[in-house]
Structure 1
Amino acid sequence: MTDIKTTVNNISEAEIEILCEVDTETFEKERAQALERIGKEVSLPGFRKGHVPANVLEQKFGEAFILEEMANLTMEKVYPEILRKHKVSAIAQPTAQVKKLAKGNPFEFSLTFQVLPEIKLPDYTKIAKDVMSGTDDTAVTDDDVEKGLTELRRQYATKDDEGKEVLPELTDELAQKFGPFANVAEFTEKVRESLAHEKQMRAREKKRMQTMEKIADGITVTLPALLIDGELDRMMFRFRQDIERMGMKLEAYLSTIKKTEEDFRKEWRIDAEKRVKIQIALGKIAVAEKLEVPKDELDREVKFLTEQHKDIDPARAYEHLEMMLLNEKVFQFLEQTK
């Protein structure tokens, strides 16, 4: 639908209004589809569902009802066109308001969008280089290995007559219970390797977060409350899950500690804002550096996830994995700057 006039009004740096006018002839073309949509849901005496003639529907429902359905169809069709035409970075569904709706007249309406304000990133390559070039303490000491072995031995601990824990002696036989190890020495070396890998992963993750936090600190624009509230909703949802995994209801837990959800939301607000800034920065870096997730890689990951979790929504899985994989590519790009 290209026969539409639009006028953009910048209400604020985070909100825009687009006034739209669809000419009379173009708007009238939606009548047949509007009647078809209405007819699919209607059963009238003497007619099968979905087979009620247009003139009967017009007489039954009246012009105002049909015009409203035509308006809904029109707005559904022009919405993606408007996003493309004006390059709108909408962060939520727009608020629609009908301005003029009458038979034989152009259809006029407005769409008000919450949008991301113009965000300028700091020099993220310099920040990444400064952070990533730092040294990491990933050495594994004999004490680390001993503690790791003790924790593993604890899996086969017994109790003495007084109820005290008794750890089994580390023997070749015990080592073989943890995998195909020939002896204690081979098992110990594997534990050392695992601890080294774990330390390296923690150090890598720490540098990644330090980098993104410094980049986020360089974003000074005020974010729309809608984004921060959305992140707070997700944080509260995860918090509720954690509490329920411990066998408690969130309401009971809050009552025990004499706090409310709103108390937590206030405490978390600064952290939520930083999280939103980090995700925005990741997205903008991906665009600036032309980083993308190959379709075959994404399809493969979605297929694996949906096979493992049959109840997951494929569309949501696709969206989530695309973001996670793209974030990983941004992190890899930043790591290469050191």
Structure 2
Amino acid sequence: MTAQWEKKEGNVGTLTVTVPSEKLDEALDQAFKKVVKQVEVPGFRKGKMPRKMFEQRFGVESLYQDALDIILPATYPQAIDEVGINPVAQPEVDIEQMEQGKDLIYVANVTVEPEVELGEYKGLTYEKKDDEVTDQEIQDAINAQLERKAELELKEDGAIEEGNVAVIDFDGYVDGEQFEGGQAEGYELEIGSGSFIPGFEEQLVGVKSGDEKDVVVTFPEEYHAENLAGKEATFKVKVHDIKEKNVPELTDELAKELNQDADSVQDYKEKLAEEMKTQKAEANEAQMKEELVVKATDNTEIDIPEAMVETELNRMLQEFEQRLAQQGMNLELYSQLSGQDTDQLKEQMKGDAKERVKTNLVLRAISDAENIEVTEEAMNEELTKMSEQFGISVEDIKSTLGDLSILENDLKVQKAIDVIVDNAKAE
């Protein structure tokens, strides 16, 4: 078998593959053995019809498609390895010559991974951020912890205030007509949470238990339900109860509950400060790496094939479905609630998908430029980490992954990021 590659404009080219006639004859033999089992001819048992009689009756051409189904999957991967290209989508195949006793010639129109001419990725600058934690940040974290421990108590007197939870019925109307999804009974709404349409919660401040109020709001222009976007709505609201949060005081006992290693309030604050400092340092480092990778990516111009973007979009959509499943939801239900179908969702993700493809291409190009290799020891270390993280054996992880080249590529990408970071300068 021989293969020739001719690059065309952009990331498309033609791969011409010549398969020796004896290989075609072998494939035709296999095709005949498969097809003849399905042919019933008077005078012959099923599958026993002679080859010559079959060809006289049906023609050898009737075997061509089955022969191609045997030849193409076997020869195409060999051909792309021979010419050294990396296709990113299924090829379009045209048969130039196919005749018994002659070489088979086919031409595959192939979209390949783009060539990457790297821009500047060393000597990039970043703003060094302080890892210190302020007293106010510590106090805010404590307040948030105490808020989560707060209990709701019925407010006997007074009106709704910021931070209260109002138990309400509401019924929404647009242009005097009820709209779907605009009704609820006994709904608990925390005032100031921002969970409702802008302006809704604020208009309930000052309303007392048992009162009714018409709340008039305007849906945002970018609201997910197109039939409501930008429209004015009136909600008829009845307040049943008002609850206020009873936030506990931080005592030594509660401090121990919040952190089992703490002996007192002071000890809890010190340990919390250390924990927050570590988290802040990790967050700053992650942000720094992200900013540097974005700079390196922005410094490189790449003509990205649409096929690569589409593949990444499908991967992102699959990841999104998995996250929905963890929340007990599926894509169909999400589409009903959000008003977005799959095509709209993919269109929304397209920019991020293109950026992810470009970033991966740049990091892989850096890995190649720096001759980065991943040792067997590094692979084993990563597999051991994954084993500890997921609580399954290394052998099970290997079995799940199947092709360890994916893991190897991920480690190369991480090393490429290290190259960018190690050669960057703090401002």
Q: Which amino acid aligns with 1:17?
A: T
2:361 maps to 280
1:219 maps to 300
Aligned-partner Cα distance in 1 for 2:407–2:49: 46
Aligned with residue 335 of structure 2, among 245, 251, 258: 251
CA shift in 2, pair 1:300/1:311, >3 Å? closer
Pairing 1:164–2:244 present: yes
Q: Which amino acid aligns with 2:335?
A: E
Aligned-partner Cα distance in 1 for 2:93–2:54: 28
Q: CA RMSD in A?
A: 3.7
CA deviation string 1:182-215 (max 9, x = no partner)? 2223322221122112211221121222112222
Pairing 1:72–2:69 present: yes
Aligned-partner Cα distance in 2 for 1:151–1:216: 38
Pairing 1:176–2:256 present: yes
1:155 maps to 148
Q: Which amino acid aligns with 1:314?
A: T
Question: What displacement does 1:141 show?
Answer: 0.6
CA deviation string 1:116-169 (max 9, x = no partner)? 222201121122xx23xx311221011111111222223332234523222222
Asked whether the 8 Å contact 1:35–1:66 carries over to 2, the reply is yes
CA deviation string 1:54-77 (max 9, x = no partner)? 957994986334443333322222
CA deviation string 1:216-237 (max 9, x = no partner)? 2222232111122333344455
Pairing 1:196–2:282 present: no
Question: What displacement does 1:265 show?
Answer: 4.7
Higher radius of gyration, 1 or 2: 2
Aligned with residue 98 of structure 2, among 94, 97, 101: 101
Asked whether the 8 Å contact 1:306–1:312 carries over to 2, the reply is no
2:228 maps to none
1:88 maps to 85
CA shift in 2, pair 1:20/1:43, >3 Å? closer
Task: Output aligned runs, 1:42-61, within 5 Å.
Answer: 55=50, 59=54
Q: Which amino acid aligns with 2:22?
A: E
Asked whether the 8 Å contact 2:252–2:264 carries over to 1, the reply is yes
Query: Which structure carries more strand by proportion?
Result: 2
CA shift in 2, pair 1:318/1:107, >3 Å? same
Q: Which amino acid aligns with 2:256?
A: Q
Q: Which amino acid aligns with 1:171?
A: T
Which has the bigger relative contact order, CA under 8 A and spacing at least 6?
2
Query: Which structure carries more helix by proportion?
Result: 1
Aligned-partner Cα distance in 2 for 1:126–1:70: 56
2:128 maps to 135
Asked whether the 8 Å contact 1:228–1:269 carries over to 2, the reply is yes
2:414 maps to 328
Asked whether the 8 Å contact 2:114–2:304 carries over to 1, the reply is yes
Structure 2: where are the runs of 5+ without partners? 41-45, 156-242
Task: Output aligned runs, 1:220-235, within 5 Å.
Answer: 220-235=301-316
Aligned-partner Cα distance in 2 for 1:42–1:200: 69
Aligned-partner Cα distance in 2 for 1:187–1:316: 46
CA shift in 2, pair 1:172/1:287, >3 Å? same
Aligned-partner Cα distance in 1 for 2:322–2:260: 34
Aligned-partner Cα distance in 1 for 2:39–2:391: 43
CA shift in 2, pair 1:31/1:241, >3 Å? closer
Question: What displacement does 1:288 show?
Answer: 1.9
Q: Which amino acid aligns with 1:149?
A: I
Aligned-partner Cα distance in 2 for 1:83–1:286: 22
CA shift in 2, pair 1:289/1:55, >3 Å? farther
CA deviation string 1:78-133 (max 9, x = no partner)? 22222222110211232222222221111111122111222201121122xx23xx
Aligned-partner Cα distance in 1 for 2:359–2:346: 19
Asked whether the 8 Å contact 2:27–2:67 carries over to 1, the reply is yes
Aligned-partner Cα distance in 1 for 2:345–2:94: 36
Asked whether the 8 Å contact 1:298–1:322 carries over to 2, the reply is no
Q: After the TM superposition, which of the residue ranges 292-301 and 81-90 deviates more from structure 2?
A: 292-301
2:122 maps to 125
DSSP-derived class of the 1:153 partner:
helix
Asked whether the 8 Å contact 1:35–1:57 carries over to 2, the reply is no
Q: TM-score, normalised by structure 1?
A: 0.78
2:137 maps to 144
DSSP-derived class of the 1:122 partner:
coil
Asked whether the 8 Å contact 2:32–2:51 carries over to 1, the reply is no
Asked whether the 8 Å contact 1:117–1:223 carries over to 2, the reply is yes
DSSP-derived class of the 2:129 partner:
coil
1:307 maps to 392
Asked whether the 8 Å contact 1:140–1:192 carries over to 2, the reply is yes
